[in-house]
Amino acid sequence: MTRRLSPALPEPRGPLSAAVTAALRGADPAGTPSPAHCFPYGDDLQLALYVLYELHYQGFEGVPDGLEWDSGLLAVREALEDRFLHALHTDVPVNGADTAAQALDELQVEPATDPGNSVSHFLQAEGTLRHLREYAVLRSLYHLKEADPHAWVIPRLRGRAKAAMVAVEYDEFGAGRADEIHAELFAALMADLGLDTTYGRYVDAAPAEALTTVNLMSLLGLHRSLRAALVGHFAAVEVTSSPASSRLAEAMRRTGAGPAAVRFYTEHVEADAVHEQVVRHDVVGGLLESEPHLDADVVFGIRATTFVEDRLAAQLLTAWREGATALRADERRGS
């Protein structure tokens, strides 16, 4: 994977993200405006939050590592998170009678035909190389650090849940082989598609809906109080991954995307079919066996994942069906 040590700071998209990037360059973070009246899923708030979360991953070029735990920036992040999390709880209500087992069962109902809001169905049936490149651009925000946000939950689990989570993450991180790390496999997919594999290269091209899917993982991962919701997120990803990956592998074959592009998804078809059972029965099951009061939090994590993924799917499909690019900036020249 081609990487600078840290990516460049992205271009701001409003007063919140402008204040955050300015603070990382030395301005006082106390001057950051309140997010109280800012759209919680909009470009400005989501980019500001994404930038602050990236301090816990690769950081940014020219930004001191010590700012990761700067008290002023953490206060800004807390305000942004409160706005985001409140919106999620409003839009993703959890009934007291809902259980994690029921929520996972709902995810396993595969539609026989394209339900109209499925990106993988669209790409399998009619996606072009342009569509696949745009999809890879947006997914690179997560897949170039695949499994990293979920690793934060490991020290917050115990017993059967911890052992199973580590087993799944071991596979995600290549089972001891650097060239088999899933983030590296995705970089190879990008190379097959003629894309720049540099970490953080395409943040400026990503609409708010794509940033939100990554921010949700970071939000849940960085808070011990949200550990069960992160387990729910992880379970939702693993349960839905295998059938969607099968469709995406077919799309890559049909368009001649290249062997590495096909391989990334065929790897997930096989691995995630096994992971689904381990996550459902041992990670989720083990967690709720030891902490049954967290059942509703697991449900929230599952349904919040579906909610943000559906928003991204709607944005992508609307653009593609209108013949437009799904990217904020047109990156097709570099593909």
pLDDT digits (tens, 9 = 90+) for 168-184: 999 999 999 999 999 99
Q: Is the pLDDT of residue 21 over 50?
A: yes
Closest CA to 221 of 232, 208, 236, 205: 232
Q: pLDDT grade, residue 289 (50/70/90)?
A: very high
- Tens digits of residue pLDDT in 188-219: 999 999 999 999 999 999 999 999 999 999 99
As a whole number of Å, the CA-based R_g of the chain is 19
Segment 281-285 mean pLDDT: 96
Question: Which CATH number describes the domain made up of 100-334?
Answer: 1.20.910.10
Segment 282-289 mean pLDDT: 97
Closest CA to 217 of 234, 204, 201, 205: 234
Cα gap 233→98, rounded to integer Å: 16
Q: pLDDT grade, residue 97 (50/70/90)?
A: confident
pLDDT recorded at residue 270: 76
Residues of the chain with CATH 1.20.910.10: 100-334
Q: Measure the CA angle with vertex 191, ends 189 and 196; round to 5°.
A: 120
State the angle between helix axes of 159-172 and 259-278 in degrees (0 to 180), rounded to the nearest 10.
170
pLDDT recorded at residue 330: 53
Burial bucket for residue 34 (CB in 10 Å: 0-12, 13-18, 19+): exposed
Phi, psi of 230, deg, nearest 5: -65, -40
For the chain, give the mean pLDDT: 93
Q: pLDDT grade, residue 272 (50/70/90)?
A: low
